């Protein structure tokens, strides 16, 4: 994978006001994903409405208390820590092909996106998200007064 070593954002800064934080997040995201060496566990991101989304993460084999969902600094973090379970006395693996290894999967959230719920069904963890833009930040029309 090609890593971006230099990226000149000056043309963007000239035409945008107050988005330097956005550009920093983009650069951090590029750097973060270039270091990812695994696609485990697989996931889906589904847009369910104008401002609602679902993140589905395959967590088959993980039981209650082994998966954790956390939001920190506009990042959704899904962690899976598989508890070691010993086989019963006299049992041994002839083949162990079911993957249930520990994982950490992160997703960057846009401003004002909040987790509304999380549930697990049939080995799929679903995290529901909703964007709530404060009224003060929503677009508004400015009346123009014409003076003679």
Q: pLDDT tens across 40-65, in order?
A: 899 999 999 999 999 999 998 888 99
The DSSP letter of residue 94 is: S
Q: pLDDT tens across 86-116, in order?
A: 788 999 888 877 767 899 999 989 888 999 9
Give the model's pLDDT for residue 38.
67
Higher pLDDT: 26 or 114? It is 114
Give the model's pLDDT for residue 23.
63
Domain count, the chain: 2
Is 144 among the domain residues? no
- Split at pLDDT 50, 70, 90, the class of 14 is low
For the ranges 4-8, 11-15, 126-130, the one whose mean pLDDT is highest = 126-130
Give the model's pLDDT for residue 86.
78
Element housing 12 (H / E): helix 10-15
Mean of the per-residue pLDDT values of the chain: 82
> Are residues 126 and 74 part of one domain?
yes
Beta strands 113-121; 103-108: pairing state:
unpaired
Q: b/e string for 54-82 if b means 16 or more Cβ within 10 A?
A: bbebbbeebeeeebebeeeeeebebebee
pLDDT for residue 66 is more than 90: yes
> Are residues 58 and 128 part of one domain?
yes
Is 146 among the domain residues? no
Higher pLDDT: 30 or 127? It is 127
> Are residues 24 and 50 part of one domain?
no
Give the model's pLDDT for residue 134.
85
Q: Which domain holds residue 109?
A: 38-86+96-137
Q: pLDDT tens across 72-93, in order?
A: 988 999 999 987 777 889 998 8
Sheet containing 113-121: order of strands: 43-47, 52-58, 124-131, 113-121
């Amino acid at each position: 994978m090609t890593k971006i070593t230099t990226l000149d954002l000056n043309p963007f800064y000239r035409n945008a006001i107050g988005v330097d934080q956005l550009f920093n997040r983009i650069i951090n995201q590029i750097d973060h994903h270039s270091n990812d060496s695994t696609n485990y566990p697989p996931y889906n991101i589904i847009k369910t409405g104008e401002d609602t989304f679902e993140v589905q993460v395959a967590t088959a084999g993980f039981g209650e208390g082994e998966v954790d969902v956390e939001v920190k600094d506009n990042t959704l973090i899904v962690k899976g820590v598989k508890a070691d379970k010993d086989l019963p006395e006299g049992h041994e693996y002839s083949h162990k092909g079911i993957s249930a290894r520990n994982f950490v999967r992160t997703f960057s959230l846009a401003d004002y996106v909040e987790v509304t719920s999380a549930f697990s069904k049939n080995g799929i963890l679903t995290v529901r998200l909703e964007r709530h833009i404060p009224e003060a930040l929503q677009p508004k029309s400015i009346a123009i007064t014409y003076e003679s």
